[in-house]
Structure 1
Amino acid sequence: MRFSRVSVPGTKRVITICSAKGGVGKSTTSVNVALALKNMGYSVGLVDADITGPSIPTMMGVDNSQVETYRVAGSDRFGPPMNFGVKVMSMGLIVPYDEAIAVRGPMVNKYIRALLFQTDWEELDYLLIDMPPGTNDVHLTITQEVMLSGAVIVSTPQKVALIDVRRGIDMFAAVNTPVLGLVENMSYFKCDSCDKRHYIFGRNGVARAAEELGVAFLGEIPFVGRIMQDTDEGIPPALRGDATLEAAKPYYELAERIHATLDESERSRTGSGSGGMIASVPLPRSRLSRLRERRAV
């Protein structure tokens, strides 16, 4: 099936961060990957596509910011607030945070288009779209109307979550959107006294699912209390710019993996003249490596 997709003006790569089930840490992943990419030297924007339950403004520390609005050629335009060097756009910045957002499907799609296409992103290397959980109207609107570089799916290792991951991959296949890979969140936690890894939700569940489904496994993120606490307070771990910190390291590695996967995919398409399944690729000496070297000096 073919769709009439258009590019988001001013963006080079547009990636959706998805989860087929709520509560798996998708938004936390979106925020920290966005900051990791920024600290690695890329220009980054972040869209909160959860129209009725926006959380990105709080996580990015812009919940008290205002969106600049103006008209250009008879059309409303938005100037997104920026924090930590990342531009952010969300319905949570337009509607007061304590006000309910109850809208029907057609209006949700209208708001999504406005957030993406009426926002002045200027020039971005990456635009990350934090999707609502599940597969609904928002997913169909974005995958059918927006030129996407690919989708990243976040899951926990639990069987019930992985069942929904399979459904999500089926949806992306139906709309011809490449899945860059799967991320396992809350993989394990380390005991304070013994420093041993405990896999409380099962071990390697997402990695096995990725292999079975023929998509890349992009890595695992441990269950670290500081990740949730800091992100909820608007100071995400990746903000610190230290790729060696336990709470930040997985996000820098994930960001580099995403970047390397897209680079390899683009080289493959250029060389062969056709697309194909995007696979995981070895990491070269990269911006992440150079960032670590600078921190060590």
Structure 2
Amino acid sequence: MHWNVSHIVAVHSCKGGVGKSTVAAGLALSLKNNGHSVGICDLDIYGPNIASILGLSNSYVLWKRVHFAESGIEYDTHGGQDANAFSIGSAATSGGKASCCSDVCDDIGFTPDETATTCLMEPKEAHGIKVMSFSFIKSERELGYAAYRGPIIDQIASELVLKTDWGRLDYLILDLPPGTGDVIITLMEDVNISSLVAVTTPHELSINDLFKGINLFQDYGVPIVCLVENMSYFVCDGCDKLHHLFGSIDIDLTLKSLGISDHVCLPIIPSGVDFVQSFYSNTDVRTKFLEIATLVTNCMNTNRSQFSSIKR
């Protein structure tokens, strides 16, 4: 196979807008700072944000045609930034079938007897982290939004994970979309998700939806690393007190109900503040994300997978 990923960590919440992408980015930075090789895949096709959070432009990714050999991948060519950028056809122009490299490579599909050649997307890199996102994919019609039905979104998300040249990674972090729909179900069928970091806010509606998402992952046998309570508090500059602007939750009861033992609270990061800059300059923020990264690493050491990251 074209990649060697030791652990796949999902970051998820059933409720949108709780800061999943922020948590995924902070976790990736912390794991990288701890000496691990890390990749992150933004799978929120309708609203990808990882590129903005990590300070990447939305220019198109490159493609490469590769040959599979006994010794590994043999690279033939690298696509140009403009002419050979990955593109995705609309349902109308591609017969209802979407493929991330439909315009540049015919033999994209991975089959059990595949031995010759295929096309892979080349991830971008930010702060030493490999990054893939739908915001890097060229649209034939350049609508400015992703107007695709479920089956196509499902395929796009699968290809962003499976058709990217991740190379050798200790951790691949999946920034999942909200809900419990096609994308999440398909990914759990395609890859072995090593663990889940569940994200919520203190709001009652977010907590209610949290149970739905965690139940799905538990039904698939995915270990839950911890519950991250994002936007839990705000530290006043003048008095250094913690203010819980969105209320608080009965965390002991919630953790017991979910069957989770670990819980990390993240502060509110003011709007307009560069996230990466805040990560490195704010000791509280950096310490909290380090705590999450440590829990992830400990979980992986305890539940080492005995099988490949890819199921098919």
Q: Residues 41 and 175 of structure 2 are in contact (CA less than 8 Å); yes or no, is this contact kept in structure 1?
A: yes
Residues 113 and 222 of structure 1, relative CA distance in 2, 3 Å threshold? same
2:172 matched to 1:127? Answer: yes
User: Shift of residue 176 of structure 1?
Assistant: 2.4
Q: Residues 44 and 87 of structure 1 are in contact (CA less than 8 Å); yes or no, is this contact kept in structure 2?
A: yes
Q: Residues 210 and 216 of structure 1 are in contact (CA less than 8 Å); yes or no, is this contact kept in structure 2?
A: yes
2:189 matched to 1:171? Answer: no
Give the structure 2 partner of residue 265 of structure 1: 303
The whole-number CA distance in structure 2 between the counterparts of 1:71 and 1:261 is: 36
> Which one of the candidate residues 221, 224, 230 is aligned to 2:274?
230
**Comparing 35-44 with 50-59, which one deviates more in the overlay?**
50-59
Residues 195 and 221 of structure 1, relative CA distance in 2, 3 Å threshold? same
Give the structure 2 partner of residue 295 of structure 1: none
More helix per residue: 1
Give the structure 2 partner of residue 152 of structure 1: 197
Residues 215 and 24 of structure 1, relative CA distance in 2, 3 Å threshold? same
Give the structure 2 partner of residue 218 of structure 1: 263
2:121 matched to 1:78? Answer: yes
Matches within 5 A, 1:63-102: 63-72=57-66, 73-95=116-138, 99-102=144-147
Q: Residues 157 and 206 of structure 1 are in contact (CA less than 8 Å); yes or no, is this contact kept in structure 2?
A: no
Give the structure 2 partner of residue 37 of structure 1: 31
Q: SS at the partner of 2:138? A: coil
Give the structure 1 partner of residue 293 of structure 2: 255
Give the structure 2 partner of residue 140 of structure 1: 185
Residues 115 and 219 of structure 1, relative CA distance in 2, 3 Å threshold? same
Residue type at the aligned position of 2:274: D
Deviations 1:262-288 (A, max 9, x none): 21233xx89xxxxxxxxxxxxxxxxxx
User: Shift of residue 12 of structure 1?
Assistant: 0.3
Q: Residues 109 and 137 of structure 1 are in contact (CA less than 8 Å); yes or no, is this contact kept in structure 2?
A: yes
User: Shift of residue 14 of structure 1?
Assistant: 0.2
2:14 matched to 1:20? Answer: yes
Q: Residues 203 and 247 of structure 2 are in contact (CA less than 8 Å); yes or no, is this contact kept in structure 1?
A: yes
**Structure 1 residue ranges (4+ consecutive) displaced by more than 6 angstroms after TM superposition:** none
Q: Residues 8 and 116 of structure 1 are in contact (CA less than 8 Å); yes or no, is this contact kept in structure 2?
A: no
Give the gaps of 5 or more residues in structure 2.
Answer: 67-115, 307-312
User: Shift of residue 202 of structure 1?
Assistant: 2.6
The whole-number CA distance in structure 2 between the counterparts of 1:8 and 1:160 is: 41
The whole-number CA distance in structure 2 between the counterparts of 1:185 and 1:255 is: 15
Give the structure 2 partner of residue 283 of structure 1: none
The whole-number CA distance in structure 1 between the counterparts of 2:256 and 2:295 is: 17
Residue type at the aligned position of 1:33: L
User: Shift of residue 251 of structure 1?
Assistant: 0.9
User: Shift of residue 229 of structure 1?
Assistant: 2.0
Q: Residues 80 and 121 of structure 1 are in contact (CA less than 8 Å); yes or no, is this contact kept in structure 2?
A: yes
Deviations 1:28-79 (A, max 9, x none): 1111110111011100000001112111111122224431202234422111
The whole-number CA distance in structure 2 between the counterparts of 1:197 and 1:237 is: 18
Residue type at the aligned position of 1:167: K
More strand per residue: 2
Q: Residues 80 and 88 of structure 1 are in contact (CA less than 8 Å); yes or no, is this contact kept in structure 2?
A: yes
Q: SS at the partner of 1:247? A: helix
User: Shift of residue 113 of structure 1?
Assistant: 1.8
2:45 matched to 1:51? Answer: yes
